[in-house]
Amino acid sequence: MLSAHTIDYELDKLDTSAVFSKYLILGYTHILPLGLDHVLFILCVFFLNSHLKKIIAQATMFTLAHSITLGLAVYGIIQPPPNLIEPLIAFSIVFLALENIFFDKLKPWRMILVFVFGLVHGMGFAGALDDLGMPRYDFANALISFNIGVELGQLTVILAMYFMVAKLFSQKTWYRNRIVIPASILIAIVAFYWTIERIIIM
């Protein structure tokens, strides 16, 4: 994957800080506003539990997982087929949304699921990076900064939802029935549509 769409900056190289800034922004914007599927995944993580530390712990597990497969994919060690990965990303959202509907507490297997689905999402991030291109002369810096940007985008979503929703309403008796379940149903419907659409198109 590294050789297919790598950008060659030999004539006009960016310095290390410029590369870092460029790919940090690209990573962030790949979540906000461009990564609606990844945002919905993070919302699924958010809605099952209103404790900020546990939400961030799951998001960190997700980041660790997608960092592994992102690195492996962009270095060409693995070559995941987009026609398989993109439907799986959508299906992972369906799965977590349904879990939010049928379970009202964080189960031990949740962290494992988030990690496994994070591996899948990392392959999707690799496809995005392949399209964007990477500088050969500062590849590791670009990869790391892109990952940091993705993490910052995820944290933005989590903190915004925590302060605007969980902190205000999570202790209400109606929170789960009026917010968590309806939101999870909507997310599941959208993600199921994406799953079918991506299977057909790809």
How does pLDDT run across 103-129, given as a tens digit for each residue? 988 888 889 999 999 999 988 888 777
Average the pLDDT over each of 13-17, 21-25, 63-67, 97-101 and give the range with the smallest value.
Answer: 13-17
- Under DSSP, is residue 170 helix (H, G, I), strand (E, B) or coil? coil
Dihedral sign for Cα atoms in the order 33, 36, 42, 43 = positive
Report residue 12's pLDDT band, with 50, 70 and 90 as the boundaries.
low
Evaluate if residue 73 carries a pLDDT over 80. yes
pLDDT in tens, 37-61: 999 999 999 998 888 988 988 988 9
Question: Please, what is the average pLDDT of the chain?
Answer: 87
Report residue 2's pLDDT band, with 50, 70 and 90 as the boundaries.
very low
Evaluate if residue 11 carries a pLDDT over 80. no
Of 65, 30, 37, 45, the C-alpha closest to 184 is 45
Instruction: Give me 68's structure tokens.
Output: 């592994």
Residue 170 is predicted with a pLDDT of 92
Instruction: Give me 143's structure tokens.
Output: 């990869």
**Degrees, nearest 5: CA angle 152-40-105:** 95
Residue 156 is predicted with a pLDDT of 96
Average pLDDT over residues 60-73: 89
Report residue 152's pLDDT band, with 50, 70 and 90 as the boundaries.
very high
- Delimit the domains of the chain by residue range: 16-201
Average the pLDDT over each of 14-18, 23-27, 190-194 and give the range with the smallest value.
Answer: 14-18
